[in-house]
């Protein structure tokens, strides 16, 4: 993360107070949690969950410079419909 | 029929046990002469335990089956005397590449640091490992291997377990004190004992095609998500010995396995993947589905379950054979101590505790890989594809990309056999972790791990051997005569090893670095090369207490 690049795109999953013996583990823990949250949901319910989740995370981040960059990064190269 | 490998035929031989008036008794019978059963036998053989292995067949694995052997499995095999042959014959690889829609998105190196005897992985067909193990077994006077001996009944209701064995000469009975079950995923013994392995079946089919070709692709693991030649699915390319290549195609649940197995259907898939101008021959093919499941408990009295019989995982991550070999690594020394009356039978419960935990971790990791590779819902696929797209641009997404978390060791940091740290250590080599290898000088080996195993040992770390006071060492050496002997290995950073002290020099300082070892630090090492305790100042009482704990005597 550099000064003119406020969005941290380095691998950043962690949990304070917990030791992870493998680098992939905290990220995989998150990913499973995310997919599990969507299990058995309809597509419409999943979209709702995602929208709420983005808003919660955005508020937690708060820093508008980071959020602008995250939105730009996500919007890049969306391909054709 | 294999083009590159001829299965050996091991002749059935009638045993004197078969004509005996009474069932002949054996201390340990192992059922199944696959890599895990033979691993158990070799390990027990090293411990001086008389072991009989029974196998219902008369040859090694038909087809290449398990091909990926991990660093830890190779270290265990090295202790058993087969590791170097594996590495010599196998294809060493450390690098994996992941492609998404034909574009390289990430590359990982599984062994980024030097200073280990064994590579991160080798690829070698399972039949070679089994052949080497059979040859190694034949070097032991205390191990006997009986081919075409199929266990058809087992009775564990009495103190001694009774097995009925079918042979070309008819059925005979034997008894044993301990029965080790290593007869694979569809374990007959498990069923005979009325036990189950439970978990999750994955509704997907995969085609394995092993082909022989001369190609100059590097020895790397290439995993393709949604490639243009196999839309919506995944493929894997991996090199084995003898110019054999493993190709793996995800097929989907609706495909007919019998149709997919036909060469006329396989060959176009291979051509689509490799191009029309590549010359190859089909060596072996199989269509498989898989399950992630385990037995609730790996022990039933004097019957101990190992390998796929006890637990089964998806193949993504090579966590099958590699974890099975670690089962018997964990079991053999414990069984020996219990058989000798030096440790209580509950030490074998710690085999369950430790290896059930490892099985859970392996099942978790392979299930997560499976969910990433074969997403089960629209949303899951969207997250998967988004991860892969972002991984072209962002580091974090490369780490999240899961094309199989390849077999690693489970850190048994919560095991009841561990002692708490005595002092502060800044190293992930905690009690319950497997030792990390490092280059050494002195003694008869160039590698730390080769100096360890098969007995309890203490590493006593010394910064400057010239300034070393012998009093500590002399005190520690007294433990050599304990009921459970403990051997002290002096490891030093600098100086000249004085006469009369067998010591290893930490030539590159990697032991100091990896273990956070300082002058006077000591590490108690179990016979399976796991760390049982670490302390900043060695002390005989502390070590004896840790040995008692590591052998379930407290």
Q: State the nearest Cα–Cα gap between A8 and chain B, in angstroms.
A: 9
DSSP B481-544: GSSS-EEEEEEEEES-PPTT--EEE-TTSHHHHHHT--TT-EEEE-TTSBEEEEESS--HHHHH
| Contact call for residues B128 and B61 (beta carbons, < 8 A) | no
* A29 and A50 in a common domain: no
Looking up residue B488, the CATH number of its domain turns out to be: 3.40.30.120
| Contact call for residues B298 and B305 (beta carbons, < 8 A) | yes
* A48 and A36 in a common domain: no
Q: Which residues contact B459 (CB under 8 A, 6 or more apart)?
A: B489, B491, B511, B515, B517, B521, B522, B523, B525
Q: Does A12 touch chain B (CB under 8 A)?
A: yes
Measured between CA atoms, the residue of chain A closest to residue B370 is: A32
Reported in sequence order, the residue ranges of B213-356 that DSSP labels E, i.e. its strands, are: 221-225, 234-239, 244-250, 281-294, 299-300, 303-305, 311-312
Q: Across the interface, do B372 and A31 touch by the CB < 8 Å criterion?
A: yes
* B457 and B341 in a common domain: no
Asked if residue B89 has pLDDT above 70, the reply is yes
Q: Does A51 touch chain B (CB under 8 A)?
A: no
Residue B458 lies in a domain: yes
Q: Please give the tally of structural domains in chain A.
A: 2
Asked if residue B469 has pLDDT above 90, the reply is no
Query: Which one, of B438, B416, B434, lies nearest residue B529 by Cα?
Result: B434
pLDDT of residue B32: 98
Q: State how far the Cα of B307 lies from the Cα of B322, in Å rounded to an integer.
A: 9
* A49 and A81 in a common domain: yes
Residue A54 lies in a domain: yes
Residue A7 lies in a domain: no
* B53 and B172 in a common domain: yes
**Residue-number span of the structural domain to which A48 is assigned:** 42-81
Query: Which one, of B164, B70, B169, lies nearest residue B121 by Cα?
Result: B70
**Size of the A and B interface in Cβ pairs below 8 Å:** 62
pLDDT tens digits for B499-549? 777 799 999 999 999 999 999 999 999 999 999 999 999 999 999 999 999
Residue B158 lies in a domain: yes
Residues 359-378 of B with CB under 8 A from A: 365, 368, 371-372, 377-378
* A77 and A47 in a common domain: yes
* A55 and A35 in a common domain: no
Q: Tell me the mean pLDDT in the region B409-435.
A: 98
Measured between CA atoms, the residue of chain A closest to residue B368 is: A32
Structure tokens at B287: 């269509």
Q: Specify the range with the lowest mean pLDDT, choosing from A22-26, A53-57, B321-325, B494-498.
A: B494-498
pLDDT of residue B320: 94
* A81 and A46 in a common domain: yes
Residue B414 lies in a domain: no
Residue A6 lies in a domain: no
Residue B26 lies in a domain: yes
Q: Across the interface, do A31 and B393 touch by the CB < 8 Å criterion?
A: no
Residue A5 lies in a domain: no
Handedness of CA B66, B71, B72, B75 (dihedral sign): positive
Q: Which residue has the tokens 């979209």?
A: A47
Task: Give the pLDDT band (50/70/90) at residue B156.
Answer: very high
Q: Across the interface, do B396 and A24 touch by the CB < 8 Å criterion?
A: no
Residue A2 lies in a domain: no
Q: Mutate one of A14, A38, A48 to test the B interface: name it (highest B CB count within 10 A).
A: A38
* A36 and A46 in a common domain: no
Asked if residue A1 has pLDDT above 50, the reply is no
Asked if residue A2 has pLDDT above 70, the reply is no
Q: Helix, strand, coil proportions of chain B in percent (round to 5)? A: 30, 30, 40
Structure tokens at B383: 């997250």
* A75 and A48 in a common domain: yes
Q: State the nearest Cα–Cα gap between B96 and chain A, in angstroms.
A: 15
* B470 and B338 in a common domain: no
Mean per-residue pLDDT over chain B, rounded: 95
* A59 and A33 in a common domain: no
Q: Mutate one of A9, A41, A42, A76 to test the B interface: name it (highest B CB count within 10 A).
A: A9
pLDDT of residue B501: 77
* A32 and A20 in a common domain: yes
Structure tokens at B49: 């335990």
Q: State the nearest Cα–Cα gap between B162 and chain A, in angstroms.
A: 43
Residue B501 lies in a domain: yes
Percent of chain B with pLDDT over 90: 90
Asked if residue B1 has pLDDT above 70, the reply is no
Higher pLDDT, B288 or B433: B433
Query: Which one, of B53, B290, B316, B78, lies nearest residue B180 by Cα?
Result: B53
Q: Does B428 touch chain A (CB under 8 A)?
A: yes
Residue B8 lies in a domain: no
Residue B30 lies in a domain: yes
Residue A19 lies in a domain: yes
Q: State the nearest Cα–Cα gap between B413 and chain A, in angstroms.
A: 10
Q: State how far the Cα of B517 lies from the Cα of B534, in Å rounded to an integer.
A: 10
Q: Helix, strand, coil proportions of chain A in percent (round to 5)? A: 55, 0, 40
Q: State how far the Cα of B9 lies from the Cα of B100, in Å rounded to an integer.
A: 44
Percent of chain B with pLDDT over 70: 100
Q: State how far the Cα of A8 lies from the Cα of B223, in Å rounded to an integer.
A: 27
Task: Give the pLDDT band (50/70/90) at residue B436.
Answer: very high
* A33 and A50 in a common domain: no
**Residue-number span of the structural domain to which B509 is assigned:** 448-550
Residue A55 lies in a domain: yes
Q: Please give the tally of structural domains in chain B.
A: 2
Instruction: Look at residues B345, B360, B381 and tell me which one is the last residue of a structural domain.
Output: B345
Residue B528 lies in a domain: yes
* A50 and A35 in a common domain: no
Q: Which residues of A touch B109 (CB under 8 A)?
A: none
Q: Which residues of B touch A28 (CB under 8 A)?
A: 365, 368, 400, 402, 405
Q: Across the interface, do A32 and B368 touch by the CB < 8 Å criterion?
A: yes
| Contact call for residues B304 and B180 (beta carbons, < 8 A) | yes
Residue A23: which of B378, B399, B411 has the nearest Cβ?
A: B399
Asked if residue B183 has pLDDT above 50, the reply is yes
């Amino acid at each position: 993360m550099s000064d003119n690049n406020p969005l941290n795109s380095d691998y950043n999953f962690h949990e304070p107070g917990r030791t992870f013996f493998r680098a992939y583990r905290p990220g995989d823990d998150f990913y499973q949690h995310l997919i599990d949250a969507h299990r058995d949901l309809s597509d419409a319910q999943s979209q709702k969950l995602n929208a709420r989740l983005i808003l919660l995370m955005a508020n937690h981040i708060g820093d508008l410079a980071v959020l602008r960059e995250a939105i730009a990064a996500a919007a890049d190269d969306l391909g054709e419909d | 029929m294999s083009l590159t490998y001829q299965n050996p035929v091991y002749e059935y031989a009638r045993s004197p046990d078969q004509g005996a008036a009474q069932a002949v008794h054996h201390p340990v019978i192992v059922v199944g002469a696959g890599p895990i059963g033979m691993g158990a036998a070799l390990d027990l053989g090293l411990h001086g335990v008389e072991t009989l292995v029974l196998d219902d067949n008369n040859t090694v694995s038909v087809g290449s089956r398990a091909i990926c052997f991990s660093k830890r499995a190779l270290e265990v095999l090295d202790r058993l005397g087969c590791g170097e042959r594996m590495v010599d014959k196998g294809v060493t690889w450390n690098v994996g590449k992941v492609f998404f829609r034909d574009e390289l998105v990430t590359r990982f190196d599984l062994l980024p640091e030097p200073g280990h005897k064994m590579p991160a992985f080798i690829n070698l067909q399972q039949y070679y490992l089994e052949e080497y193990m059979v040859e190694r077994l034949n070097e032991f006077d205390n191990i006997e291997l009986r081919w075409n001996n199929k266990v058809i009944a087992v009775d564990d209701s009495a103190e001694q377990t009774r097995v009925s064995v079918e042979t070309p000469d008819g059925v005979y009975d034997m008894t044993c004190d301990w029965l080790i079950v290593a007869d694979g995923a569809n374990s007959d013994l498990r069923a005979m004992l009325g036990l189950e392995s439970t978990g999750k079946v994955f509704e997907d089919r995969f085609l394995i095609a092993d082909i022989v070709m001369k190609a100059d692709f590097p020895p790397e693991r290439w995993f393709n998500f949604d490639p243009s030649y196999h839309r919506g699915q995944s493929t894997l390319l991996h090199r084995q010995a003898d110019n054999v290549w493993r190709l793996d195609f995800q097929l989907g649940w609706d495909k007919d396995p019998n149709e997919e197995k036909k060469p006329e259907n396989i060959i176009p898939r291979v051509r689509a993947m490799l191009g029309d101008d590549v010359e190859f021959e089909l060596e072996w093919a199989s269509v498989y589905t898989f399950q992630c499941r385990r037995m609730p408990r790996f022990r039933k009295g004097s019957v101990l379950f190992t390998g796929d019989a006890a637990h089964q995982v998806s193949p993504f991550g090579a966590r099958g054979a590699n974890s099975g070999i670690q089962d018997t690594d964990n079991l053999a020394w414990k069984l020996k101590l219990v058989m000798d009356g030096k440790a209580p039978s509950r030490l074998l419960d710690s085999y369950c505790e430790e290896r059930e935990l490892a099985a859970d971790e392996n099942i978790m990791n392979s299930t997560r890989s499976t969910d990433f590779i074969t997403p089960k819902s629209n949303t899951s696929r969207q997250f998967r594809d988004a991860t892969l797209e972002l991984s072209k641009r962002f580091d974090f997404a490369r780490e999240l990309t899961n094309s199989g978390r390849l077999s690693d060791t489970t850190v048994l940091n919560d095991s009841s056999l561990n002692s708490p740290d005595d002092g502060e250590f800044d190293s992930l080599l905690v009690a319950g972790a497997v030792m990390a290898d490092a280059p050494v000088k002195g003694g008869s080996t160039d590698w730390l791990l080769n100096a360890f195993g098969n007995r309890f040992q203490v590493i006593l770390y010394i910064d400057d051997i010239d300034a070393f006071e012998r009093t500590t060492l002399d005190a520690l050496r007294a433990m050599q005569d304990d009921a459970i002997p403990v051997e002290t290995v002096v490891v030093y950073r600098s100086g000249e090893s004085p006469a009369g002290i067998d010591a290893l020099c930490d030539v590159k300082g990697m032991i100091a670095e990896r273990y956070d070892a300082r002058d006077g630090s000591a590490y108690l090492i179990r016979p399976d090369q796991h760390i049982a305790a670490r302390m900043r100042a060695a002390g005989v009482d502390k070590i004896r207490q840790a040995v008692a704990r590591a052998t379930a005597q407290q």
